[in-house]
């Protein structure tokens, strides 16, 4: 299966690449191996499917796709089938997805020998390559998607190293539509290309000459930009949130002065990955940073989500979200801890909460003046400015279609509304369904339909009713929690809590002086410690509001929302819509949006929220079709975070491509041979003639490559890749005992810190240590730390002086003490401490010196009870271990019980008389007594 045949043979292929830059890029890819970094929205998946079809049509190729997600697999499979039908390519086989371990080994081997295009998950592929189930020499080529995720320790880099070591002629094409990771670090482009064994990078930003000329010709889409002014309340909330974000960043800088903080500013805070960036810098010392810093980092995520919510959610939903956030960030009712978020103490926080309430309801002035009820409220229900504009746009489109009904070109008369997420889709659907429903009010009992303007009052009244019902339940739960916590505090075991010195109020001589010298220094709407207080409406206020938004006849007649539809009687209730006059509301979904455009063929597109990549998709769609006219309405809030975020993302992408172009211009030739991948011939020769006798031991003279047997579940980690990089032959097997077998004597159980904690919790580690001692002379426990974090157990120490530590009867929960207990239980267990996978690989190599090579067959059989007699083999060990700890059961009588009974349940239900012939009367009485003990009486 050489690539020459695939490239030189005439191909009966029809491609669907109408634009100049797409054709140019396709020719480039067919000619040579390269990394393609293309701007989002320029049709990456279309390019990949056409390239794959050109190889699929030839019919004699074995092509492997790495890194494809499920939806991409579905797209590629569909596109290849479509291309094969259009080209009438008889040899085309389409895509086969291998994504689970359920495909048996034999079936996979047969599939690989037949050839075709396979999308395989990295874990299955790496095992198949190492076991030679899939021979690297037989692969025609590899297509790598999401190349930006390939780092030196990733499985994808491991797969490419194995492929390139044994196959020098097969092609390798890598694709990415995210330029960001290629610009972080020292010479990042060269480093990532070295990981992928590629020498050439092809960069295609939106400002590339070929792309610009393809998209900016005569067939441009008609775009109408609509800047929507925010309401005064929305502006003040946004301003207040920005102030909270600014103060939070300032506090972070003040508390962590040793870090690189050039990017920690308000502009960066608008980017999607800002909190990830901050967390990455703090991670190495996360256990040492103060509680306040940790709180601020989580607060930044919350505040940034609020910036989006104030623009996307309606006024009632936004207030509900604020209530939930406030409850989550306040100390539990009745608790003594003061762990509130710092931003809740700012005046800006008070502005956020009070303004959000003012958008939903306000005091009823007419009643208040009449002294009828001071607590009376009336609904305000501020509408989002974009809703009214959306209604205007739809009216304009209706007029346009009415006065100019003749179809223009191939487009349907469909309106496509695009927004950021499914929640906004639901909100817009509700609004469009109910904007013309006009409730009869006392002020206007005989309203005419002609006078009515589109309004969200119907939808907002319903949401306010739901909110008030939710708030009532919320307050009830809050009160119940408070009373439960009070009881718990009063009955606390800790003497300090019982004596009342922790009741939340300081003694008189320690009390903090408050400004003004009054009894209480709290402002209205604030708690005793100065943070914003949670507001619960009084029952009389709720009653007034409920009366104001009671259900009218029109609302009662509305269809209820379908939550779960059993799809019975489909023929009676369902039909296929005509695509001519539909309003389709859809959320942005990356590459899938191209499918939406092709299938819906909209004549009008309303971009409810800005998205740079979707604009390009519309440009590509319009330029690709001569006869599809598209008008785009592009809506955004002027002077808002939404606008800033959009402009920042476009600017950032442009900067990234500029950096990449500069680095590529000054880059030296990338060496695609792996420095560790192929063993130095000199080292191989020295190993062959090594006659050193270790301590009077044996003579080692072997040309065999050293090997390590690795459990297949370990391929989730980067260690097998690093071992392979050190010229160790990695043999994947399904091991029952241990994770790595270095020699017939050495077995290693590898634990990351999180895995170690969970192993101690469920007692799994003790069983694993026990089984290792049964089958190996030198079992070892490897505790491996993350290379980016601190090499210390300090963050996992439970020395905080909490309730457990105070109670002397409680067993120690500290990780260090548990490790000590483990070493006391298994004195011969060696513990290896490793600061990173790199160090682990070095330790393994040193441990293997002067040791014989492990036998994979013996390693797999260990723990499978092959050393027991035939009559004992069929029994499960775990139930035997369970019965072994029951009073009255000894190793001698256990065997007769196992032979005579089916399972533990049968033993538990046997009487003393039935157990007597098996294990004797005294033992039978103890066993029966154990299983039939009344635990309720015992506790009392």
Cβ burial of 77 (10 Å; 0-12, 13-18, 19+) is middle
Helix (H) / strand (E) element for 417: namely strand 415-419
Got the DSSP string for 505-543? ---GGGPPP-TTS-S--PPTTB-TTSSBPPP---HHHHH
Q: What would the pLDDT profile of 124-140 be if each residue is shown by its tens digit?
A: 899 899 988 889 999 99
Q: Poorest-confidence range of 14-18, 44-48, 710-714?
A: 14-18
> CA angle at residue 842 from 840 to 846, to 5 degrees?
115
Supply the pLDDT for residue 142.
94
Q: Look at residue 309 and give its three-state secondary structure.
A: helix
Average pLDDT score over residue span 792-807: 48
For the chain, report the end-to-end CA distance as a whole number of angstroms.
78
Q: Poorest-confidence range of 269-283, 542-556, 706-720?
A: 542-556
Q: What would the pLDDT profile of 188-219 be if each residue is shown by its tens digit?
A: 888 888 888 888 899 999 999 999 888 887 67
Q: Look at residue 598 and give its three-state secondary structure.
A: helix
Q: How confident is the model at residue 368 (pLDDT cuts 50, 70, 90)?
A: very low
Supply the pLDDT for residue 703.
57
Asked whether the predicted pLDDT for residue 807 surpasses 80, the reply is no
- Beta-carbon contacts of 356 under 8 Å, excluding residues fewer than 6 positions away, are 237, 315, 318, 319, 322
Q: What would the pLDDT profile of 751-779 be if each residue is shown by its tens digit?
A: 888 888 888 887 788 888 888 888 888 89
Q: What would the pLDDT profile of 555-580 be if each residue is shown by its tens digit?
A: 555 555 555 556 666 666 666 777 66
- Residue 182 CA to residue 149 CA, distance in Å, equals 10
Half-sphere exposure of 785 (CA within 13 A, CB side): 17
Asked whether the predicted pLDDT for residue 629 surpasses 90, the reply is no
Supply the pLDDT for residue 798.
43
In what order do the strands lie in the sheet containing 604-607?
222-228, 631-637, 604-607, 415-419, 583-587
Q: What would the pLDDT profile of 344-353 be if each residue is shown by its tens digit?
A: 888 888 899 9
C-alpha dihedral (726, 731, 733, 738), degrees to nearest 10: -40
Supply the pLDDT for residue 557.
55
Q: How confident is the model at residue 535 (pLDDT cuts 50, 70, 90)?
A: low
Asked whether the predicted pLDDT for residue 371 surpasses 70, the reply is no
Supply the pLDDT for residue 70.
87
Q: What would the pLDDT profile of 218-244 be if each residue is shown by its tens digit?
A: 677 788 899 999 999 999 999 999 898
Q: How confident is the model at residue 334 (pLDDT cuts 50, 70, 90)?
A: low
- Residue 54 CA to residue 474 CA, distance in Å, equals 60
Phi, psi torsion values for 733, nearest 5 degrees: -145, 160
- Residue 109 CA to residue 828 CA, distance in Å, equals 43
Supply the pLDDT for residue 670.
62
Supply the pLDDT for residue 532.
66
Average pLDDT score over residue span 687-709: 57
Supply the pLDDT for residue 94.
83
- Residue 482 CA to residue 489 CA, distance in Å, equals 11
Greatest mean pLDDT among 12-16, 511-515, 807-811, 841-845 lies in 841-845
Got the DSSP string for 14-48? -----SHHHHHHHHHHHHS-EEEEE-TTS-HHHHH
Q: Which of 229, 313, 237, 223 is nearest to 637 (CA)?
A: 229
Supply the pLDDT for residue 498.
41
Residue showing tokens 């291309």: 83
Q: Look at residue 554 and give its three-state secondary structure.
A: helix
Which has more pLDDT, 404 or 932? Answer: 932
Report, in this order, helix, strand and coil percent for the chain, each rounded to 5: 50, 10, 40
- Residue 78 CA to residue 58 CA, distance in Å, equals 18
Phi, psi torsion values for 119, nearest 5 degrees: -105, 115
Supply the pLDDT for residue 11.
47
Q: Look at residue 320 and give its three-state secondary structure.
A: helix
Asked whether the predicted pLDDT for residue 664 surpasses 70, the reply is yes
Q: What would the pLDDT profile of 460-519 be if each residue is shown by its tens digit?
A: 888 888 888 888 888 888 777 767 666 665 665 444 444 443 344 444 444 444 333 333
- Residue 52 CA to residue 78 CA, distance in Å, equals 12
Cβ burial of 916 (10 Å; 0-12, 13-18, 19+) is middle
Got the DSSP string for 188-241? HHHHHHHHTT---EEEE-TT-HHHHHHHSSS-PPEEEEEEEPPPHHHHHHHHHH
- Residue 447 CA to residue 674 CA, distance in Å, equals 79
Got the DSSP string for 768-824? HHHHHHHH-SEEEEEEE--TTS-SSSGGG---S--HHHH-TTSPP--HHHHHHHHHH
Q: Poorest-confidence range of 481-495, 597-611, 614-628?
A: 481-495
- Residue 746 CA to residue 177 CA, distance in Å, equals 46
Mean pLDDT across the chain, nearest whole number?
Answer: 78
- Residue 172 CA to residue 156 CA, distance in Å, equals 13
Q: Are the C-beta atoms of residues 739 and 715 closer than 8 Å to each other?
A: no
Q: Poorest-confidence range of 76-80, 269-273, 659-663?
A: 269-273
Q: What 3 state SS string does 427-460 have?
A: HHHHHHHHCCCCCCCCCCCCCCHHHCCCCCHHHH
> CA angle at residue 668 from 663 to 671, to 5 degrees?
120
Asked whether the predicted pLDDT for residue 422 surpasses 60, the reply is yes
- Residue 579 CA to residue 414 CA, distance in Å, equals 6
User: What is the β-pairing status of strands 222-228 and 604-607?
Assistant: unpaired
Q: How confident is the model at residue 47 (pLDDT cuts 50, 70, 90)?
A: very high
Q: pTM for the full model?
A: 0.77
Asked whether the predicted pLDDT for residue 56 surpasses 90, the reply is no
């Amino acid at each position: 299966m050489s690539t020459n045949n695939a490239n030189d043979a005439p191909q009966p292929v029809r491609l669907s690449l109408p634009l100049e830059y797409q054709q140019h890029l396709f020719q480039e890819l067919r000619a040579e191996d390269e990394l393609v970094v293309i701007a989002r929205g320029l049709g990456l998946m279309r390019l990949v499917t056409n390239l794959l079809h050109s190889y699929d049509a030839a019919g004699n190729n074995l092509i492997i796709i790495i890194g494809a997600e499920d939806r991409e697999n579905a797209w590629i499979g569909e596109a290849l089938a479509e291309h094969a039908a259009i080209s009438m390519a008889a040899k085309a086989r389409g895509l086969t997805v291998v994504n689970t371990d359920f495909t048996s080994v034999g079936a996979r081997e047969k599939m690989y020998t037949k050839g075709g295009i396979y999308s395989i998950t990295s874990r299955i592929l790496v095992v198949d390559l190492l076991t030679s189930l899939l021979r690297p020499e037989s692969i025609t080529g590899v297509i790598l998607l999401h190349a930006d995720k390939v780092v030196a320790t990733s499985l994808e880099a491991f797969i490419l190293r194995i492929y390139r070591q044994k196959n020098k002629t097969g092609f390798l094409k890598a694709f990415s539509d995210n330029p960001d990771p290629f610009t972080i670090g020292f010479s990042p482009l060269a480093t990532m290309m070295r990981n992928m064994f590629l020498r050439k990078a092809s960069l295609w930003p939106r400002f590339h000459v070929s792309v610009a000329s393809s998209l900016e010709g005569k067939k441009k889409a008609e775009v109408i930009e609509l800047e929507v002014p925010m309401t005064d309340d929305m502006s003040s909330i946004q301003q207040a949130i920005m102030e909270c974000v600014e103060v939070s960043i300032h506090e972070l800088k003040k508390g962590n002065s040793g870090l690189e903080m050039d990017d920690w500013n308000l502009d960066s805070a608008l980017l999607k990955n800002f909190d990830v960036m901050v967390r990455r810098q703090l991670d190495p010392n996360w256990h040492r940073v103060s509680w306040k810093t940790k709180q601020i980092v989580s607060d930044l995520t919350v505040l940034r989500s609020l910036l989006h919510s104030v623009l996307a959610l309606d006024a009632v939903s936004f207030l509900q979200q604020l209530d939930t956030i406030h409850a989550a960030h306040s100390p539990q009712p009745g608790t003594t801890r003061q762990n509130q978020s710092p931003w809740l103490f700012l005046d800006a926080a008070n502005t956020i909460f009070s303004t959000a309430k003012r958008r939903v309801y306000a005091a009823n002035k007419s009643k208040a003046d009449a002294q009828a009820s001071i607590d009376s409220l009336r609904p305000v229900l501020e509408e989002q400015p974009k809703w009214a504009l959306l209604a205007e746009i739809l009216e304009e489109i209706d007029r346009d279609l009415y006065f100019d009904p003749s179809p223009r070109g191939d487009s349907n008369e469909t309106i496509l509304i695009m927004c950021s997420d499914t929640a906004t889709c639901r909100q817009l659907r509700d609004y469009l369904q109910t904007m013309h429903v006009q409730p009869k009010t006392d002020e206007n009992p005989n309203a005419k339909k002609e006078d009515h303007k589109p309004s969200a009052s119907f939808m907002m009244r319903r949401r306010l009713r739901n909110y008030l019902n939710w708030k009532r339940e919320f307050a009830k739960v809050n009160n119940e929690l408070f009373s439960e916590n009070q009881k718990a505090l009063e009955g606390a075991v800790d003497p300090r809590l019982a004596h009342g010195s922790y009741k939340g109020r300081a003694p008189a001589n320690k009390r903090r002086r408050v400004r003004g010298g009054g009894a209480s220094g709290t402002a209205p709407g604030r708690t005793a410690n100065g943070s914003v207080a949670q507001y619960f409406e009084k029952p009389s206020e709720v009653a007034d509001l409920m009366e104001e938004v009671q259900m009218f006849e029109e609302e009662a007649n509305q269809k209820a929302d379908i939550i779960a539809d059993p799809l019975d009687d489909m023929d009676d209730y369902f039909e296929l819509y005509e695509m001519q006059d539909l309003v389709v509301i859809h959320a942005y979904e990356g590459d899938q949006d191209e499918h939406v455009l092709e299938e819906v063929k909209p004549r009008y597109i309303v971009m409810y929220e800005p998205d740079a990549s979707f604009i390009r998709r519309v440009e590509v769609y319009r330029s690709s079709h001569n006869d599809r006219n598209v008008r785009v309405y592009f809506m955004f809030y002027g002077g808002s975070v939404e606008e800033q975020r959009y402009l920042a993302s476009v600017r950032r992408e442009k900067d990234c491509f500029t950096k990449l172009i500069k680095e590529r211009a000054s880059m030296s030739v990338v060496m695609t041979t792996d420095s560790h991948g192929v063993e130095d011939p000199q080292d191989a020769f020295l190993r062959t003639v090594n006659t050193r006798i270790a301590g009077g031991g044996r003579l080692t003279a072997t040309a065999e490559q050293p090997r390590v047997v690795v459990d297949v579940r370990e391929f989730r980690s980067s260690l097998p890749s690093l071992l392979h990089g050190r010229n160790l032959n990695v043999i994947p097997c399904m091991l029952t005992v241990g994770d790595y077998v270095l020699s017939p004597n050495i077995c290693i159980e590898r634990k990351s810190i999180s895995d170690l904690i969970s192993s101690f919790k469920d007692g799994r580690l003790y069983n694993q240590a026990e089984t290792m001692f049964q089958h190996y002379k030198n079992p070892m426990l490897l505790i491996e730390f993350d290379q980016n974090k601190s090499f210390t157990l300090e963050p996992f120490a439970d020395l905080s002086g909490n309730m457990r530590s105070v109670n002397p009867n409680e067993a120690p929960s500290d990780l260090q003490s548990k490790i000590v207990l483990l070493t006391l239980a298994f004195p011969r267990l060696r513990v290896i401490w490793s600061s990173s996978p790199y160090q682990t690989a070095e330790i393994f190599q040193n441990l293997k010196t002067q040791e014989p090579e492990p036998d994979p067959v013996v390693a797999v059989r260990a723990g499978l009870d092959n050393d027991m007699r035939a009559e004992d083999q069929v029994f499960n060990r775990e139930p035997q271990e369970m019965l072994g700890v029951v009073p009255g059961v000894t190793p001698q009588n256990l065997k007769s019980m196992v032979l005579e009974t089916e399972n533990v349940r049968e033993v538990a239900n046997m009487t003393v008389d039935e157990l007597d012939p098996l294990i004797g009367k005294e033992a039978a009485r103890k066993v029966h007594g154990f299983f039939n003990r009344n635990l309720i009486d015992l506790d009392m």
